């Protein structure tokens, strides 16, 4: 049966790659590459660097999987994403059926960890559910950008006995402050932290975490919000793309902490 590995490769630092991931990388015959969004060439380069650094045989190959265009104008964000994911899984199924031999091992190298804001697990489940391609698949966890952010700022994500929420920039504006005291925000193209009431909130922000372009800023939101927006604009102008993540930490009242 064809084998497929979904390997978390960390958030940008090749040293995020775990020993389990290195073992998995060394089993792979075909790496399927399906990049989307900002910085595809930088991310593809890093994936190749990881393979060259950790794989001890020359037998692996890379196959590009064409990424179907997503309708970014659609009013219903959720259904547009679902349609696009279904199309991706059909394209992937075709390419894997053609390029991966019956006894071979294929892999997707997943940015960060496969469990966080990544559609690959769902896509593979769709392929398996259709039943045309027999696949045995396994997931290898990776260091996510959230863990990288916490480590670089030398903080824990939650406070003693309190909750932490992981959300998107799109949702932050609608839900903040919800029930969590600490909120991690990903996939924020606009800087949604500007839209939340800043009083009593600290921000721990990081861009390009784990890479040589890493930027870190922390402080009271009211004080550093403009500085972060300026850093985001500069970075976008220089590199053409930006990946950032941040934690918003609400000051606890005397009865809470
Ligand atoms: C599609 S999600 C993938 C998340 C990934 N699976 C993970 O575990 O980090 C992309 C988002 O992750 C965050 N991200 C990924 N890599 C990052 C990095 N090196 N530095 C800062 N944020 C990063 C950003 O919020 C970005 O918009």
User: Quick one: CA dihedral 217, 164, 188, 241, positive or negative?
Assistant: positive
Among 90, 150, 89, 96, CA closest to 122: 89
Going by alpha carbons, the residue nearest to atom 17 of ligand 1 is 145
Report residue 178 CA to chain centroid gap: 23
C-alpha to C-alpha distance for 50 and 52, rounded to whole angstroms: 6
Instruction: Tell me if the pTM is above 0.85.
Output: yes
Q: How far away, in angstroms, is 44 Cα from ligand 1 center?
A: 15
What pLDDT, on a 0 to 100 scale, did the predictor assign at position 37? 47
Alpha helices in 4-111 (DSSP H): 19-25, 40-54, 77-99
Which residues does a 6 A CB cutoff place in the pocket of ligand 1? 11-12, 111-113, 116-118, 144-145, 186-187, 206-210, 243-245
Question: 3-class secondary structure for 144-190?
Answer: CHHHHHHHHHCCCCCCCCCCEEEEEHHHHHHHCCCCCCEEEEECCCC
Helix (H) / strand (E) element for 215: namely strand 215-220
What's the length of the chain? 257
Report residue 252 CA to chain centroid gap: 30
One pLDDT digit (tens) per residue for the chain, 257 residues: 999 999 999 999 999 999 999 999 999 999 998 865 445 567 778 888 999 999 999 899 999 888 877 766 666 777 788 888 888 899 999 999 999 999 999 999 999 999 999 999 999 999 999 999 999 999 999 999 999 999 999 999 999 999 999 999 999 988 888 888 999 999 999 999 999 999 999 999 999 999 999 999 999 999 999 999 999 999 999 999 999 999 999 998 777 76
Planar angle of CA 73, 74, 79, nearest 5 degrees? 145
DSSP one-letter code for 69 = P
Pocket-testing residue among 145, 148, 192, 235, ligand 1, by greatest number of atoms within 8 A of Cβ: 145
Report residue 154 CA to chain centroid gap: 21
Question: Which atom of ligand 1 approaches the CA of 146 most closely?
Answer: 9
Q: How far away, in angstroms, is 117 Cα from ligand 1 center?
A: 8
Determine the 3-state secondary structure of 83 from DSSP: helix
User: Count of CB atoms within 10 A of residue 199's CB?
Assistant: 10
Question: Which atom of ligand 1 approaches the CA of 144 most closely?
Answer: 8
């Amino acid at each position: 049966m064809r084998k497929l590995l979904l390997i978390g490769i960390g958030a940008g630092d090749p040293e995020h790659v775990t020993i389990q991931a290195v073992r998995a990388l060394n089993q792979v015959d075909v790496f399927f590459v399906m990049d989307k969004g900002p910085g595809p060439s930088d991310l593809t380069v890093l994936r190749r660097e990881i393979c060259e650094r950790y794989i001890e045989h020359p037998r692996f190959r890379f196959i590009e999987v064409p990424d179907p265009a997503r309708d970014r104008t659609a009013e219903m964000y959720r259904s547009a994403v679902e349609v696009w994911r279904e199309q991706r899984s059909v394209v992937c199924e075709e390419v894997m059926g053609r390029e991966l031999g019956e006894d071979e091992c294929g892999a997707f190298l997943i940015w960060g960890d496969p469990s966080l804001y990544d559609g690959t697990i769902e896509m593979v489940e769709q392929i398996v559910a259709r039943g045309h391609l027999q696949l045995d698949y396994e997931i290898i966890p990776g260091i996510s950008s959230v863990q990288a952010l916490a480590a670089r700022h030398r903080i824990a994500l939650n406070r003693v006995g309190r909750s932490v929420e992981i959300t998107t920039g799109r949702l932050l504006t609608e839900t903040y402050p919800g029930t969590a005291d600490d909120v991690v925000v990903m996939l924020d193209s606009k800087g949604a932290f500007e839209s939340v009431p800043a009083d009593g909130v600290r921000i721990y922000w990081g861009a390009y975490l784990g890479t040589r372009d890493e930027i870190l800023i922390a402080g009271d939101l009211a004080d550093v919000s403009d500085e972060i927006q300026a850093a985001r604009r500069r970075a976008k102008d220089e590199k053409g793309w930006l990946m950032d993540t941040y934690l918003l930490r609400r000051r606890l009242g005397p009865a809470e902490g």
